Chain A
Amino acid sequence: MKLKTHAEEAAEFIKDDARTHWHDETLWHVRSNRDRSAQGIPEWETLRDTASATKDYVLSHLGELLEQFEANAKANGVEVLWARDAKEHNEHVYRILQENKVKDIVKSKSILTEECGLNHYLENKGYDVVDTDLGERIIQFAKQTPSHIVLPAIHLKKQDIGKIFHDHIGTKEGASDPNYLTEAARQHLRKKFVEANAAITGVNFGIAETGGFVVCTNEGNADMGTHLADVHIACMGIEKLIPRAADLGVFLRLLARSATGQSITNYSSHFHRPAKGKKLYIILVDNGRTEQLGREDFKNSLKCIRCGACMNTCPIYRRSGGHSYNYAVPGPIGSILSPGRDLKKHSTLPFASTLCGSCSDVCPVKINIHEQLYKWRQVITENTNMDTSKKLSMKVAGMTFGKPVLYDLAGKAVRTALKITPKSLVYSSINVWGKHRDLPEVPKESFKEWYKKNRKQ
Chain B
Amino acid sequence: MTSKEAILAAIKNNKPEATPLPDFLTFPEEENLVDRYEKGLTGNGGKLQVVNSMEELDAFVKEHYSNDLLIASLVEEVKGNVDVSKISDPHDLEHVELAVLKGEFGVSENGAIWMPEKNVVHRVLPFIAQHLIIVIREETLLTDMHRAYEKVNVADDGYGVFIAGPSKTADIEQSLVIGAHGPRSLTVFLIRK
A residues contacting B by CB (< 8 A) are 26, 29-30, 43, 46-47, 50, 53-54, 56-57, 59-63, 66-67, 70, 76, 82-84, 88, 132-135, 138, 151-154, 156-158, 161, 178-179, 181-183, 185-186, 189-190, 193-194, 207, 210-212, 218-221, 223-224, 226-228, 238, 243, 245-250, 252-253, 260, 262-275, 284, 286, 290-291, 293-294, 296, 299
Q: Indicate which residue in A46, A50, A53, A290 contacts B19 across the interface (CB closer than 8 Å).
A: A53
State how many angstroms separate the Cβ of A268 from the closest Cβ of chain B.
Answer: 4
Q: Write the chain B residue with the least CB distance to A246.
A: B149
Q: Is the CB of B8 within 8 A of A267?
A: no
Cα(A290)–Cα(B14), bound, Å: 7
* 13 A-B residue pairs with CB within 8 Å: A29-B174, A43-B25, A47-B25, A56-B19, A59-B15, A76-B155, A134-B172, A161-B173, A178-B172, A220-B127, A224-B182, A265-B164, A286-B10
A190: chain B residues within 8 A (beta carbon): 181
Q: Indicate which residue in B24, B27, B165, B171 contacts A246 across the interface (CB closer than 8 Å).
A: B24
Task: Flag B155-167 by CB within 8 Å of A: 1 or 0 each.
Answer: 1011111111111
Q: Write the chain A residue with the least CB distance to B17.
A: A60
A30: chain B residues within 8 A (beta carbon): 174
Task: Flag B39-55 by CB within 8 Å of A: 1 or 0 each.
Answer: 01001110000000000
Q: Is the CB of B180 within 8 A of A218?
A: yes
Interface size class of B (residues with CB under 8 A): 35 or more
B14: chain A residues within 8 A (beta carbon): 290-291, 293-294
Q: Is the CB of A272 within 8 A of B162?
A: no
By DSSP majority rule, is chain A's interface helix, strand, loop, or mixed?
Answer: helix
A83: chain B residues within 8 A (beta carbon): 3
Q: Indicate which residue in B2, B159, B182 contacts A270 across the interface (CB closer than 8 Å).
A: B159
B22: chain A residues within 8 A (beta carbon): 50, 53-54, 57
Given the known A-B contacts A47-B25, A161-B172, A291-B10, are A221 and B180 also in contact in the complex, defined by CB atoms under 8 Å? yes
A43: chain B residues within 8 A (beta carbon): 25, 27
A179: chain B residues within 8 A (beta carbon): 177
Binds A, one of B62-70, B71-79, B98-106, B109-117: B109-117
A70: chain B residues within 8 A (beta carbon): 4
Q: Indicate which residue in A133, A178, A193 contacts B175 across the interface (CB closer than 8 Å).
A: A178
Q: Indicate which residue in A152, A153, A193 contacts B181 across the interface (CB closer than 8 Å).
A: A193
Q: Which of B16, B122, B181 has the most CB of A within 10 A?
A: B181
A183: chain B residues within 8 A (beta carbon): 179
